[in-house]
Amino acid sequence: MGNDALSRRNVLGYFGMAAAVAMTASCGTANAGKSADGTVTLEFAQWWEPELPKGSLRTLMDTFEAKNPGIKVKLLSGPYASTKEQVIAGAAAGTMSDVVGLDGAWINDFSKQGSLADLSALMKESKYDQSQLASQVKIDGTTLMIPAVNFVYPMFTNDDLLAKAGVSKPPSTRSEFTAAAVAISKVDSNVKGWVLPLSQEAPNGIQNDVMSWVWASGGSMLKDGKPDLTNDAVHSAVNFVQDLWDKKVVSPGALTMKEQDKVEEFTNARVGMMIDSLAHIKLIRENNPKLKFSISAVPAVDGFTGKRGIPYAAWGIGIADNSPNKAEAWKLVDFLMSEETNAKLSSLSNSFPGNTKAVPDFVDSDALFKKAFEIYKGGYPANEFVGLPVAEQLMRSFDEELQKTLSGQQNVDKLLANAQATWMKSF
C-alpha cells in the first residue's frame, strides 16, 4: 500500500520469512502456460492476503475460478516488504508472476524495464468500460496499474477542542482552517491547532500533509508529467503552510516528526486537526475510546467550487509483460475490479473501491466511514507521486528545502526554485 500502511504491515516475522521462501521457490514456475488438460494456472503475487480476514482472498479466488472454468489462481502471499522484494526481483529476471499487487512508487522503474503489460491495450481488446475506474496509473499515456482499493487521507478534527475554541464545525476553506488553528492553539498551552510531520527519514509528510493542500484545490505539482513546483497552486499552498508555521499553530517537533508521531499527538488530544489515513481510525479509537473526532475534506482555497483531490495510497494491480497468460490474467483483473467483487474487497480491507459504482458495507454501519465515503465520492483520488521516478527521494529533497524555509534560511520562492532544479535531475 505504500507510505500510509502503518497498521497493515505488522505481520509476524516468521510468516514473512516463510512466505519469502515460498515465493522464491515458485518464482518463474507457474508461467509455463496451459497444462495438459488446457487449464491455465495464474500466479497472483500480493501482500493483501495477510492484511485481510483469514481466508477471504482465497474465497474471492474460488468465486473467480467457478465463474471461469479452465483458470486456476495460485496466491503468492507475504508481507509488503517481502512481496516488494520478490516482485522487483521477478521484474529484473523476467519471471514476474502473471498478476501482481503493486505500489505506485514502483511503477516508473517497472516501466523503464518493460516489466508490466499494457493494460490500456488489454482494456481496449476486451471492450472494457474504463469509466467505472476511479483512477489509473499511466506512464507515457499507457496504463500499467489500476488502483484496486484506495486508502484515503481526509482531515481529522477533535470535536471537543474545536468546541472549546468556539469553532462550530470543521473548516472547509483555508481561511477557516487558519482561524480554527489559531483559536485551538489558545485553548491550552500544551495544545496546537495542526500537526505537520516533516521527518526526512520518512518524508511522506510532503505527500500527505503538504501537497495535499495543492490537490484539495484542484492544483498540480506537475505539468506534462514533469515537475512544475513554481506554479501558483504550489506556491500558494506552501505559503499557506509557512503562514501556519509563523503563527505558531503547528505542533512542536515537526521537523523530526514521523506519521506515527502525528497520530499519537492527535490521539492524545494535543492537537486539534490533522490530515491522516482512514486506516488509523481503529487505532485512534482503541488507544483513546473517549476521544470524539470528525472527518471532513481537506480545506480548499477560498472560493474554490471544483472537485477536491483527496490524498490516497492504493493496493494497485497489474499484469506481468512476461506472462504468457495475459488474456486470462486480464479476466482476473476484470473480476477484481467488477462492482460486486470490488465492493467486497474494499469492505474486507476497510478501504474505498477502485470501481466508482461499488459501495463497501461499512459505509452504512460506521458514521465516520460513511462521511469519508461521501468525501471520496465527491472528489477524486489524488497522489501525483504515484508513478514518479525515485518518489521518496523527491519528497526528501523537497522536505530539505522546506525545512530551510521554515527555519528562516530562505523564502518560499527560493525553496520552490531549488526543489524544481533538484527534481528535474531525476526526470
As a whole number, mean pLDDT of residues 27-47 equals 75
- Does 270 have pLDDT greater than 60? yes
| Choice between 282 and 97, residue whose per-residue pLDDT is larger | 97
The verdict on 256 and 402 lying in the same domain is yes
The verdict on 214 and 109 lying in the same domain is no
Residues 6+ apart with CB under 8 A from 125: none
**Residue 277 falls within a domain, yes or no?**
yes
Report pTM. Answer: 0.77
pLDDT at residue number 38? 87
- Does 255 have pLDDT greater than 90? yes
**Chain CA centroid to CA 316, Å:** 10
- Does 3 have pLDDT greater than 60? no
**Residue 323 falls within a domain, yes or no?**
yes
pLDDT at residue number 127? 97
The verdict on 261 and 401 lying in the same domain is yes
**Residue 329 falls within a domain, yes or no?**
yes
As a whole number, mean pLDDT of residues 319-341 equals 98
Q: Decide: 368 and 295 in contact? Cβ < 8 Å.
A: yes
The verdict on 277 and 194 lying in the same domain is yes
Q: The C-alpha cell of 69 is what?
A: 472454468
**Residue 146 falls within a domain, yes or no?**
yes
| Domain CATH code at residue 246 | 3.40.190.10
- Does 14 have pLDDT greater than 50? no
Query: How does the average pLDDT of the chain come out, rounded?
Result: 90
Q: Decide: 375 and 153 in contact? Cβ < 8 Å.
A: no
- Does 423 have pLDDT greater than 70? yes
Q: How many domains does the chain have?
A: 2
- Please write the tens of the pLDDT for every residue from 369-402: 889 889 988 998 899 998 888 888 999 999 999 9
The verdict on 145 and 290 lying in the same domain is no
**Chain CA centroid to CA 153, Å:** 8
The verdict on 107 and 197 lying in the same domain is no
The verdict on 23 and 123 lying in the same domain is yes
**Residue 304 falls within a domain, yes or no?**
no
**Chain CA centroid to CA 327, Å:** 28
Positive or negative torsion for Cα 345, 350, 351, 355: positive
**Residue 6 falls within a domain, yes or no?**
no
Q: The C-alpha cell of 273 is what?
A: 486537526
Predicted confidence band at 33 (pLDDT cuts at 50, 70, 90)? low
The verdict on 76 and 170 lying in the same domain is no
As a whole number, mean pLDDT of residues 282-298 equals 94
Residues 87 and 108: their CA atoms lie apart, in Å, by 14
The verdict on 250 and 393 lying in the same domain is yes
Q: Decide: 119 and 144 in contact? Cβ < 8 Å.
A: yes
- Please write the tens of the pLDDT for every residue from 343-368: 999 999 888 899 999 999 988 889 99
- Please write the tens of the pLDDT for every residue from 95-115: 999 999 998 888 988 999 999
- Does 31 have pLDDT greater than 80? no
As a whole number, mean pLDDT of residues 299-311 equals 95
The verdict on 162 and 258 lying in the same domain is yes
- Grid cell 500533509 — which residue? 209
The verdict on 167 and 256 lying in the same domain is yes
Q: The C-alpha cell of 250 is what?
A: 503547528
DSSP 3-state assignment of 137? strand
Residues 203 and 205: their CA atoms lie apart, in Å, by 5
**Residue 248 falls within a domain, yes or no?**
yes
pLDDT at residue number 18? 35
The verdict on 46 and 169 lying in the same domain is no
Strand partners, 45: 76, 100
Amino acid (one-letter) located at 372: A
Residues 216 and 222: their CA atoms lie apart, in Å, by 15
Range of the domain at 199: 155-296+389-424
